A and B are shown apart, each in its own frame.
Chain A
């Protein structure tokens, strides 16, 4: 059983579409991270959340602690958003989702 589940695994969208990636977890956590990994392999931390909602540019991340669920939204998607998005949680241990591969088509 995976402690962190992401959906969908793969996602293809047209440029301009609104995108949602979901993350559910089954363990107690102190923080949840959304990471972005580009085709070149580099990893960037997008958000770290322990409650509520955060926004950075076209990206919005929300977390519901009671439901153990987080979402990453991308508004007005662009081909440069094409990447793998990874959800990770930190509590007593680290757990990672398997990632969502996003392709945005021009």
Chain B
């Protein structure tokens, strides 16, 4: 199994641009999570999907952030417009059934907004 796949691994963009991060969960996993990690705030959960449905999006910072999961094998996290304070590492993780199961993390996308 390839594990959780994220792309791109690194993204550098200018303030105001749209950024799209992509995630492919482990096949057969029903839950998907998007996290953000910064030095100041540590790890934060942004959104949690179960069976492709957003269950908890209380961590999404503001309307500039949106996430979709059109099918069981793909999810996107979009930031529009991006701001320098969005610079962080964004992790995607998946688990077999619910958020109470072991999570498997992707390698992360390091986003830099200039």
Interface set of A (CB-CB < 8 Å, partner B): 30-31, 33, 35, 41-45, 48, 50, 86, 88, 90, 93-94, 96-99
User: How many interface residues does B have (CB within 8 Å)?
Assistant: 21
B75 to chain A, nearest CB (A): 17
Show 10 A/B contacts (Cβ-Cβ < 8 Å), sorted by A: A33-B102, A42-B108, A43-B91, A44-B105, A86-B42, A88-B43, A90-B100, A94-B48, A96-B42, A96-B45
Let me know if B105 and A94 touch, CB within 8 A: no
Q: Choose among A43, A48, A93, A94 the residue that contacts B101 (Cβ–Cβ < 8 A).
A: A48
**Chain A neighbourhood of B93, CB < 8 A:** 43
Q: Most A CB atoms within 10 A — which of B43, B59, B104?
A: B43
Interface set of B (CB-CB < 8 Å, partner A): 42-45, 48, 56, 58-59, 89, 91, 93, 99-105, 107-108, 110
A98 to B, closest residue via Cβ:
B42
In the complex with contacts A96-B44, A98-B42, A45-B99 CB distance below 8 A: no
Let me know if A33 and B89 touch, CB within 8 A: no
Rounded to whole angstroms, the CA-CA distance of A99 and B44 in the bound complex is 13
A50 to B, closest residue via Cβ:
B100
Let me know if B43 and A30 touch, CB within 8 A: no
**Secondary structure class of chain A's binding surface, majority of residues:** strand
Let me know if A42 and B99 touch, CB within 8 A: no
In the complex with contacts A93-B56, A93-B58, A45-B102 CB distance below 8 A: yes
Rounded to whole angstroms, the CA-CA distance of A59 and B48 in the bound complex is 29
Let me know if B43 and A42 touch, CB within 8 A: no
Let me know if A41 and B44 touch, CB within 8 A: no
A38 to chain B, nearest CB (A): 11
Let me know if B107 and A42 touch, CB within 8 A: yes
**Chain A neighbourhood of B56, CB < 8 A:** 93
Rounded to whole angstroms, the CA-CA distance of A96 and B46 in the bound complex is 13
Q: Choose among B45, B100, B108 the residue that contacts A30 (Cβ–Cβ < 8 A).
A: B100
**Chain A neighbourhood of B107, CB < 8 A:** 41-42
